Structure 1
Amino acid sequence: MSIQSEELRTFVAVVEAGSLSAAAEVLEQTTSGVSRALSRLEEKLGASLLTRTTRRMELTEEGRAFLEQARSILAALEQAEETIRTRTRKPVGKLRVDAAAPFMLHCVVPHVGEFRDRYPDIELELTTNDRFIDLVEQRADIAIRIGALQDSTLHARALSSARLNIVASPAYLERHGAPDSVEALEQHQLIGFSQPETLNHWPLRHSAGDRYQTRPAIRASSGETIRQLALHGQGIACLSSFMTDADIAAGRLVRVLEHYDSGYRQKISAVYYHNTQLSRRISCFLDFLQDRL
């Protein structure tokens, strides 16, 4: 006959309470019911777990060995129950999400309505920052970052990756023509980032490798500012596909030097502290966002 979890709970309760009557009170059962459950357990095991006297109860050698196992089994059952409850419980509370402004505008904001319809009890607080931040200092639960992550004690989750497009507006290309080689970029007005300088190393194959170091004539700290400058015909820029694919499809921007593309893709990752109370809200948001990406 198989052992039931209630029999294990009865045995542990008797040991911890010190007597059948005290255990019966804890379990909200009768003393005779507790006694019968304990007897059934001993019968199934074929061993005596407790030595009963008129004054006290003591564990036998078999009882001491079995107690540790019983507690482990009950703890595992409680953990399994909590896991299922957490999965089925509707996530509630505030979730603070930080991302670079272009990613927030192009990849998060368009889907907020759908997310709110699905999880109406999650209060979203969205902030933008183009640099790596201290989550505690900025009061953020999740930070979404583009590119290689710095060494960190934070949990990280890869969400997707993005191609980089070398683009210019039709108006700019009409005035200056399209470059026919990577080296020809030196005769064009380029738009780049003020920092970090690595963002101005464009993924283009040329005689010296597959990353071309540019010298921007115009620099900006935000990718969205660079996009607007490109749309207004101020030069050639290198921007993530999630920022420029819609512009390319609409004819507002045109890809140049496609045949020299090295195939490099920027990583899109989320970083966060592990927090049991937040974990359900975090996983809901990241699962949702990853599906959209």
Structure 2
Amino acid sequence: MMTQLDDLNLFVMTVRHQGISAAAKAAGMPRSRVSRRLQELEKALGCQLLIRTTRHIELTENGRMLFDQTQASLNTLNTAMSRLQQRRMQMEGPLRLAVPAAVASSPTFISMMQQYIERFPRVNLEVFYHQHSVDLQRQNIDIQLLPSESEVINLDYVRQTLLPFPCCWAASPAYLSKHGRPQDEGELKQHSLIASRHIAAVLQQDLSFRLRSDDLHIVQQLTAQGMGIGLLPEVFVRRTQPEFQLERLFGDRLAMEMGLSLIYSSRTFLPEKTRKMIDLIRDTFIQLNQQS
């Protein structure tokens, strides 16, 4: 019959503390429970391990052999378990994120990475560009940001929808002066359009784009330089540098909302450094929604 490791551990503790009461106190358990577990261990092994007296305990020959054979192994096991628990709580080492290129180049994402690095300087961030769902566990990725429309490769992973990025059409004053300002979305077909590949793919309209890129900074810069009308997250339009002014088109109407999902492999066994990044991402998107 298989015995439980924690029963063996209680046996070793009882020998080391020279009594069941002392072992129970060290383990934070009632004495009766420790005594019962030791009896179950003896029953499982088919031999007596301890000679119990009023004041102390003695080892039988079988008990001495078991103690000598197991205490070193249990010490190693307990040390390993303690180190694993400490490692889970440590704020150091690598933290790997998979994100679409368009998201990685956004001011919001860059700001989040800056905040995290400043708060936790011993954590080493690694950012990988992935447009589609990855197997987090096999590829050793801690967190993925994924467009909400995308399928997740492993349905057991945790998926949380973040508040969406509102997107709008915008153009530079120079472009509008040269080509005219469209009065509604129907006139966009008469203009050169620029967008990220993902945003353009999600937008359900019969539009032709002169340029698509995974890098939103390219879309922003080319739009600001008068190369066309850009489809951009509002945050890119609001934060354009003074020398690259953009004007939002069609009033307050949104072109679309770009949804993002936060993906990670487990709620239960999250390292603390991963949990802190998840909290930062959630809080950032909540603040963005409050500002809009």
Match of 2:103 in 1: 103
Q: Distance in 2 between the 1:24 and 1:221 partners? A: 63
Q: Sort the Cα spacing of 1:41 and 1:249 in 2 relative to 1 into closer, same or farther, 3 A.
A: same
Q: Sort the Cα spacing of 1:150 and 1:286 in 2 relative to 1 into closer, same or farther, 3 A.
A: same
Q: State which of 260, 272, 286 in structure 1 corresponds to 2:264.
A: 272
Match of 2:126 in 1: 125
* 1:115 corresponds to 2:116: yes
Aligned with 2:109: secondary structure?
helix
* 1:219 corresponds to 2:212: yes
Aligned with 2:182: secondary structure?
coil
Q: Distance in 1 between the 2:7 and 2:269 partners? A: 29
- AA paired with 2:225? H
Q: Sort the Cα spacing of 1:121 and 1:184 in 2 relative to 1 into closer, same or farther, 3 A.
A: same
Q: Within 5 A, what are the aligned runs for 1:1-293?
A: 17=11, 24-25=14-15, 28-31=16-19, 33=21, 56=48, 89-105=89-105, 106-129=107-130, 131-135=131-135, 139-153=140-154, 154-194=157-197, 198-199=201-202, 201=203, 211-247=204-240, 252-258=245-251, 260-261=253-254, 264-274=256-266, 279-293=271-285
**TM-score normalised over the length of structure 2:** 0.63
Q: Sort the Cα spacing of 1:265 and 1:87 in 2 relative to 1 into closer, same or farther, 3 A.
A: farther
Q: Sort the Cα spacing of 1:14 and 1:138 in 2 relative to 1 into closer, same or farther, 3 A.
A: closer
Count how many residue pairs are aligned between Structure 1 and Structure 2: 231
Answer whether contact 1:101 1:224 (CA < 8 A) is retained: no
Pairwise CA distance, 1:50: 6.6
- AA paired with 1:103? V
Q: Distance in 2 between the 1:139 and 1:36 partners? A: 41
Q: Sort the Cα spacing of 1:179 and 1:197 in 2 relative to 1 into closer, same or farther, 3 A.
A: closer
Q: Distance in 1 between the 2:20 and 2:264 partners? A: 52
Aligned with 2:208: secondary structure?
coil
Pairwise CA distance, 1:88: 9.9
Pairwise CA distance, 1:162: 0.7
- AA paired with 2:111? P
Q: Distance in 1 between the 2:133 and 2:92 partners? A: 25
Q: Distance in 1 between the 2:271 and 2:171 partners? A: 42
Q: Distance in 1 between the 2:279 and 2:23 partners? A: 50
- AA paired with 1:266? M
Between the aligned residues of both structures, percent identity stands at 19
Q: Distance in 2 between the 1:226 and 1:250 partners? A: 16
Flag structure 2 segments of 5+ consecutive residues without an equivalent.
Answer: 1-5, 51-81, 286-292
**TM-score normalised over the length of structure 1:** 0.62
Aligned with 1:258: secondary structure?
coil
- AA paired with 2:278? L
Per-residue CA deviation, residues 241-264 of structure 1 (Å, 9 max, x unaligned), is 2333212888711111135436x4
Q: Distance in 2 between the 1:133 and 1:233 partners? A: 35
Aligned with 1:274: secondary structure?
coil
Pairwise CA distance, 1:178: 1.0
Pairwise CA distance, 1:280: 2.1
Q: Sort the Cα spacing of 1:111 and 1:225 in 2 relative to 1 into closer, same or farther, 3 A.
A: same
Pairwise CA distance, 1:169: 0.9
Pairwise CA distance, 1:290: 2.5
Flag structure 1 segments of 5+ consecutive residues without an equivalent.
Answer: 1-11, 59-81, 202-210
Q: Which runs of 4+ in 1 moved over 6 A?
A: 49-52, 85-88, 248-251
Answer whether contact 1:92 1:281 (CA < 8 A) is retained: yes
